[in-house]
């Protein structure tokens, strides 16, 4: 295989998508989409998230130090697209109906339609040149009761049906293609 070099740019994909829930100064909820998310473990699970530019969500997290992160699944993609296509700094995001409640461990707004949501406390903020990187301890995970008997050590993404983002496009997860350790079946 011959390879070529390309200029480093925002071409990283695929990326998971999450609806981030924060509280505005007046206590009303604010939701947006963030795709720059990863996970880490340092004695406890943590979520790592980068938010660039000027966003009400970033302002709220810097003030409150907490947020929710709801995994975007195929069935709520268009609600998430609405949150990602509108700016909280320009007014309340109420043109589309949705329900929300506050978290069980943290007072953060959580979209009712999300099947899998993390409640997160910010433990560290790294200020970058044009963004902020948040490291947040996962205090609680709320999941749809339909997943109660799912093996949490081997989560079935086909069952969860997360939506995936690649710049300006949305995708769904395809078929499961194997399990860890099956390489021997393909090479030996």
Kindly state the greatest CA–CA separation across the chain: 62
Q: Which residues contact 84 (CB under 8 A, 6 or more apart)?
A: 32, 33
What pLDDT, on the 0 to 100 scale, is given for residue 11?
Answer: 65
Residue 96 lies in a domain: yes
* Residue 51 Ramachandran class (φ > 0 left, ψ -120 to 50 alpha, else beta): beta
Q: How far apart, in whole angstroms, are the C-alpha atoms of residue 52 and residue 129? A: 9
Residue 177 lies in a domain: yes
Residue 8 lies in a domain: no
What pLDDT, on the 0 to 100 scale, is given for residue 89?
Answer: 66
Residue 4 lies in a domain: no
pTM for this structure? 0.91
Residue 22 lies in a domain: yes
Q: What is the CATH number of the domain that holds 159?
A: 2.30.110.10
65: domain range?
15-187
What pLDDT, on the 0 to 100 scale, is given for residue 14?
Answer: 80
**pLDDT in 10s for each residue of the chain, 188 residues:** 999 888 877 666 788 899 999 999 999 999 999 999 999 998 999 999 999 988 999 999 999 999 999 999 999 999 999 998 887 666 677 788 899 999 999 999 999 999 999 999 999 999 999 999 999 999 999 999 999 898 888 888 889 999 999 888 899 988 888 888 888 888 87
The sign one gets for the Cα dihedral 159, 164, 170, 173 is negative
Residue 7 lies in a domain: no
Q: How far apart, in whole angstroms, are the C-alpha atoms of residue 58 and residue 65? A: 10
What pLDDT, on the 0 to 100 scale, is given for residue 178?
Answer: 86
What pLDDT, on the 0 to 100 scale, is given for residue 167?
Answer: 83
Domain count within the chain: 1
What pLDDT, on the 0 to 100 scale, is given for residue 60?
Answer: 97
What pLDDT, on the 0 to 100 scale, is given for residue 151?
Answer: 84
Backbone dihedral angles phi then psi of residue 147, each to the nearest 5 degrees: -100, 5
What pLDDT, on the 0 to 100 scale, is given for residue 88?
Answer: 66
């Amino acid at each position: 295989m011959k390879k070529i070099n390309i200029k480093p740019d925002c071409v990283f994909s695929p990326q998971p998508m999450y609806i981030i829930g924060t509280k505005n100064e007046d206590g009303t909820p604010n939701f947006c989409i963030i795709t720059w998310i990863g996970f880490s473990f340092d004695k406890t699970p943590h979520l790592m998230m980068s938010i660039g530019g000027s966003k009400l969500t970033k302002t709220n997290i810097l003030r409150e130090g907490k947020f929710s992160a709801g995994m975007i699944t195929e069935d709520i993609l268009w609600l998430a697209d609405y949150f990602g296509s509108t700016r909280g700094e320009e007014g309340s995001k109420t043109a589309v109906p949705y329900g929300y409640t506050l978290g069980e461990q943290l007072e953060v707004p959580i979209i009712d339609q999300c099947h899998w949501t993390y409640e997160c406390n910010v433990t560290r903020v790294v200020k970058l040149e044009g963004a902020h990187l948040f490291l947040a301890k996962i205090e609680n995970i709320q999941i749809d009761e339909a997943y109660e008997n799912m093996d949490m050590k081997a989560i079935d993404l086909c069952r969860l049906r997360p939506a995936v983002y690649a710049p300006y496009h949305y995708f769904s997860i395809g078929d499961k293609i194997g399990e860890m350790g099956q390489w021997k079946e393909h090479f030996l």
